[in-house]
Amino acid sequence: MQLLKEMMGAGLSVQVKKEFRNKRGDVFPVGATVMCEFRDTSVRIVLGDAAVILSYPIASKLLTKFKPAPSTNTLAKMTYGSVATTPLGSRTEPDGRGIYGEPSWLIAMGLI
C-alpha cells in the first residue's frame, strides 16, 4: 500500500542519515522518516509541519536511498546516450523520470 501511495504522487519516504536544519530552525534528526516531493532541480523534504527544499546533490548526502551525483564524464555520456539514471538509481531516458517521479540526473542538474 505504501508503494502504491508513493507511486500515485504522495512522494517517497526516506530516512535522514545526517542531521540538518532548515532556515526556520526546524531540526531533521538522524533516523527520522521524511517525505520527498520531487521537482525538476530540487526535492522538497517534509517532516510534520517542517519542510526544506534541497538540491539533489545535497539530498544524496543527507538522506537514504539517494545516490551520489554522477561525475562530469558520466553526465556527458548520459547526454549523448539513450539511458540516464535518476538520483534514486533508476534507469530512464535522458529527459525522463523514475518510478517515483524523480527526474533524470540531467534534468536534476539543469542540463536539459
- Position 24 confidence tier, pLDDT thresholds 50, 70, 90: very high
pTM of the model: 0.86
| CA distance linking residue 51 with residue 22, whole number of Å | 7
| CA distance linking residue 42 with residue 58, whole number of Å | 9
Q: What is the pLDDT of residue 10?
A: 55
Locate 43 and state its grid cell: 526535492
Query: So where are the chain's domains?
Result: 2-62, 72-108
Classify residue 6 by its DSSP letter.
Answer: I
Q: What's the pLDDT tens digit per position in 30-58?
A: 999 999 999 999 999 999 999 999 999 99
- Beta strand extents in the chain (DSSP E only): 12-15, 20-21, 27-28, 33-38, 43-47, 50-54, 84-85, 91-92
Cα 24–Cα 26–Cα 32 angle in degrees, nearest 5? 150
